[in-house]
Amino acid sequence: MGVQQSLDLRGRPMGILSQNLHRYAAGGVLALLCTTALILVVRRLAGALANPLEPATLLAVAAVVAAAAAAIRLSWLAPTPGSPRSGIDRAMMILTSLAVAALGTGLCLPGTSAVGMFLLWTLLGAEESWAWGWRVREGFPSPPSPERPAVTTDSAHVGTSRSNRGGIPSRAVPTLGAEEIMLSKGVTQQLTRSQTADGAEELSGWLRIAFVAGQRTGSLHVAFCPAFPATPELVVEQLDGPEARMKTAQLMSYGARLDLKLAAAAEEPTSVLVQFSARTARL
């Protein structure tokens, strides 16, 4: 049997460690921003601040605050674009905005020039408008169901087959919709028994085999229950996973075994998803 590689559903998300480092950095900057805002507000209320800042100084301070707020949002949210957002993400957005507003208010002392306040609030307002506009465009979607992970597929490739080698007929496996092949990684078999219009018995479905790092070969087993009255015709197609060669090691009326060999040993834990159809003609 030839290699039946139709599509690749694997994504390459950023590692969990890298994502956490970004969030730790964002949390540290946010803590520093909130602490500075709190100290400034407390000193302002205590009357410890009396001399207003010059417009140029206000502009420089506003630029630092705006850059810190933008860095917090980008470090926290940008590493995982389009991923589900939680209540912590919303809290982070709101807390950052409150800190920016507190800093801006604390810097606007009595006697501050109108030009200075205009420059301050224009820069801070521009950063906040950008940040919230970005979040509104991306949204805070609800997490997808774990049983149906959100995977992008190219339906034009689903159900294609190549030349026949190893004695398995090259009859195409019935094409299935993209929704139907988005199986959870925990599903190892999904079978459907049916009777065709001409009275033939058919068993079809998916089989998944897991490979650990360093593994190259493995076998898939499927039982035909109840057994077919005769040895069926078997058609197999690879739908997902690294490139692999497949051959029918055993085919009986009560089951089959497929041997798989990856083109290269797995560098990390992975799996191969196979679609099959076993059919026997009406006797």
pLDDT tens digit sequence for 48-64: 877 888 888 888 988 99
Which residues on neighbouring strands pair with residue 279, listed in sequence order?
A: 202, 233
**Whether residue 110 sits in one domain with residue 49:** yes
**Whether residue 202 sits in one domain with residue 131:** no
Q: Find the largest Cα–Cα distance for the chain.
A: 100
Q: Is the pTM for the entire model greater than 0.85?
A: no
Q: Does residue 60 sit within a domain?
A: yes
Which of 73, 107, 138 is a domain's end point? 138
Distance from C-alpha of 81 to C-alpha of 134, rounded to nearest angstrom:
11
Q: What is the dihedral of CA 216, 221, 222, 227, to 10 degrees?
A: 150
**Whether residue 183 sits in one domain with residue 119:** no
Domain of 108 in residue numbering reads as: 16-138
Residue 241 tokens read as 């996973």
Q: Does residue 123 sit within a domain?
A: yes
Q: Does residue 148 sit within a domain?
A: no
Q: Does residue 145 sit within a domain?
A: no
**Whether residue 102 sits in one domain with residue 51:** yes
43 — phi, psi (to 5°)? -65, -35
**Whether residue 123 sits in one domain with residue 21:** yes
pLDDT digits (tens, 9 = 90+) for 88-125: 878 888 888 998 898 888 888 888 888 888 888 998 88
Q: Does residue 163 sit within a domain?
A: no
The percentage of the chain sitting over the pLDDT mark of 90, rounded to a whole number, equals 19
**Whether residue 195 sits in one domain with residue 97:** no
Distance from C-alpha of 93 to C-alpha of 82, rounded to nearest angstrom:
16
Considering its fold, how many domains does the chain have in total? Answer: 2
CATH number at residue 267: 2.60.40.2080
Q: Does residue 143 sit within a domain?
A: no
Distance from C-alpha of 222 to C-alpha of 258, rounded to nearest angstrom:
9
Residue 259, C-beta contacts closer than 8 angstroms, at least 6 positions apart:
217, 218, 219, 246, 247, 249
247 — phi, psi (to 5°)? -145, 150
Q: Does residue 88 sit within a domain?
A: yes
pLDDT digits (tens, 9 = 90+) for 163-222: 333 334 434 444 444 344 455 667 788 888 888 788 788 898 889 999 999 999 999 999
